[in-house]
Copies of this chain bind each other. A is one copy, B any other.
């Protein structure tokens, strides 16, 4: 078993640990003890590890191919993870909130995290079953800072298709409107 609810629960717990690691104000003694305990847990989990990364293995054995993905992977503690919703018109959207682990300017989402999410979300409408699309070009326009700890929404749709190239557009918005917009070219390999 390389993917199951039990692994997702583990990732949820490690996400909480990441947040506490950044924000903790307990004594140095407690921090040092926590570090030792984590090393012990890592040793137990590390007694058997798949080589390299999750994706390589998942493709081989038919498990969920994106569980290790840094944006949508349910067992990757560094992933928010986003749940991408596909509409019947081909557009996609996702709603999420980002915490301390995604900080750039104090109190705001790192502009690079915004670019990362938009790369994934703009690519999503271009993916076809068994026929992934790879980013060719991504252009991101920052209108204003995107807040941490506030409900956010990302959405994207295909604007035009030319051969193997999908031209998509999308945005990230908070309750007050669009904070960042983007356009991208996503390419199916021949």
Contact = CB atoms under 8 A, between A and B. Distances in A.
Given A138-B111, A142-B135, A76 B22 contact: yes
A175 interface: no
Given A117-B112, A138-B140, A14 B21 contact: yes
Contact of A17 (B20, B45, B137, B145): B45
Interface size class of chain A, counting residues whose CB lies under 8 Å from the partner chain: 35 or more
- Interface hub of A70, A110, A112 (most chain B Cβ within 10 A): A112
Interface of A: 1-2, 4, 6-7, 9-11, 13-14, 16-18, 20-26, 28, 30-35, 37-42, 44-50, 52-56, 58-59, 65, 68-71, 73, 75-78, 99-107, 110-113, 115-120, 123, 132, 134-142, 145, 148-149
